A and B are shown apart, each in its own frame.
Chain A
Amino acid sequence: MTLAKLRGRARSDKVFVTFAEAVADVQDGATVIIGHFGGPGGMPMLLLRALRDHGARDLTIVGNTAGIGVVFGAKRDALRIDPGVLVENRQVSRAIVSYPIAPGAPQPNPLEEGFKAGDIKIEMNPQGILAERIRAGGAGIAAFWSPVGVGTIVSEDKETRTIEGKEYILEHAIKGDFSLIRAHKADKAGNLIYRGNMRHFNVSAATASRVTVAEVDEIVETGELDPDKIVTPGIYVNRIVCRPKQFRGK
């Protein structure tokens, strides 16, 4: 699909056939929030692979990891794709992360090499505060006072304030250009439900970008999902792409 065709789409037409067209307009320098935790569970793997093949550079990636360098929590037949594919392909210039790489990652690895060479900047966050910064970005909160990391590297160069005798750090909201997320099922209006504990960063990431793209196992007609079971309202979700049969649930 050409960019012109992409721009000409109706806003209500959210179903994309290929992963490539769903990320076709990610521009160089974009901030991309990647809903994931670390293992393959709840990881938008096919969107990440499409973004790698698309090749946009100078990206700021936001998420729990920068591709942890080892595969854990994977079954033998599982796909093994994480944000590391973007780092390896030299598309990342900045990573806003909590657990960028596992201690057991092979050395040398592209993240540490890129960091050492000054090509990749890494901004470390406590995990819950990273999630909260993304949530704040989606919820119209500019910044908040956090009790986490006082007296550690995460408080360096940040404003502090004592409130009722306790010290807090000012943490700023994060907004993205694109959020790539994973859910189990979508309806054509973009409403999402999840399965197992795949919600982790996906629920907050859905709210925090100009364009949210969801990778799902199944797309059903609008009205087929029980409104009471919907976790992510479709109004946050701009694009949905269904995994091909052989990758569903993996």
Chain B
Amino acid sequence: MFRLDREAIALRVAKEFRDGDVVNLGIGIPTLAANYIPEGRTVWFHTENGAVGFGGSPPEGEEDIHMTNAGGGFVTALPGMSIFDTIEAFTIVRGGYLDITVLGAMQVSEKGDLANWLRPGRLIGGIGGAMDIVAGAKRVIAAMEHTDKKGTPKIVRECTSPLTAVGCVDMIITDMAVIEVDKEGLMLVEHAPSLSVEDIKSVTDAPLRVSGELREMEL
């Protein structure tokens, strides 16, 4: 069955960024979205270790260990960047100043519950900033593959992995579809090229309503 690659998921994610948004990207597919900001829009990237408004990696040889994002990637200063400590980073998050967060997920439930901090089979996981961020961000987008490597659905009725937060996800963007989460559950709004509604339903382990305005994902 046709699947988008990680870059294409990131490309679709970036279309959600509006001009002037403050955005926090999780590790993995979400981080790639920084490469696809639609032209003419300014996005302020936020990181938990204390900066807003940083840019991409510096050229080789100019990396500074004291200029990184939360995932340890080297970043550069853009005009307008500000630097602060972790207290301030989370004042921004919980204070309601973060417009969008995009996170990876192990599971998302039909109620928008998110599980993304403990991998199956591991004793210890990492919560990191995820719990604060999904509790505070105005919009939470889960960006992920529709199924895990074994083909098991990651969109489920009830999460079986430990939760990051209850009912926090607003939108799910996968390699097959875009799904909105509302009070009634999940609504399929976009499908990847050449995939049918049935294709998507066959690997989704939760009821999926289909929008009257269902369209192909714009890439």
Contact = CB atoms under 8 A, between A and B. Distances in A.
Interface string A145-156: 001111111100
B124 A41 contact: no
Contacts of A38: 49, 70, 72
Interface residues of B, number: 44
B57 to A, nearest CB: 11
Interface in A159-209: 184, 195-204
Given A148-B131, A154-B131, A42 B126 contact: no
B14 interface: no
B124 A147 contact: no
Nearest to B63: A75
B93 interface: yes
Nearest to A120: B124
A150 B68 contact: no
A115 B123 CA distance: 8
Given A149-B165, A201-B85, A204-B85, A196 B64 contact: yes
Interface string B27-68: 000000000000000000001111100000000000111111
Interface residues of A, number: 55
B207 interface: no
Q: Interface centre among A64, A116, A131, by most B CB within 10 Å?
A: A131
Nearest to B90: A128
Interface in B139-153: none
B87 to A, nearest CB: 5
A43 to B, nearest CB: 9
Contact of B65 (A40, A149, A151): A40
Interface stretch (A11-19, A25-33, A96-104, A238-246): A96-104
Contacts of A249: 66
B86 A127 contact: yes
B65 A74 contact: yes
Nearest to A182: B66
A116 B163 CA distance: 22
Given A41-B66, A200-B50, A149 B124 contact: no
Q: Interface centre among A68, A101, A115, A126, by most B CB within 10 Å?
A: A126
Nearest to B113: A151
Given A152-B164, A199-B83, A128 B124 contact: no
A73 B73 contact: yes
B80 interface: no
Nearest to B67: A196
A103 B127 CA distance: 11
Given A152-B165, A196-B66, A131 B123 contact: no
A128 B91 CA distance: 8
Chain A interface SS verdict (over half): loop
B65 A128 contact: no
Contacts of A148: 94, 131-132, 135-136
A98 B93 contact: no
Interface in B72-102: 72-74, 83-87, 89-90, 93-94
A37 interface: yes
Contacts of A50: none
A103 B126 contact: yes
A73 B119 contact: no
Contacts of B83: 196-197, 199
A40 B68 CA distance: 10
A212 B180 CA distance: 49
A233 B155 CA distance: 50
B122 A103 contact: yes
Contacts of A47: none
Contacts of A201: 85-86
Given A115-B124, A151-B166, A152-B162, A128 B85 contact: no
A76 to B, nearest CB: 10
B185 interface: no
Nearest to B68: A73
B212 interface: no
Nearest to A126: B131
Closest 7 interchain pairs by CB?
A128-B90, A196-B66, A73-B72, A72-B72, A128-B132, A99-B126, A126-B131
7 contacts: A37-B49, A99-B127, A101-B126, A126-B132, A129-B90, A131-B85, A200-B86
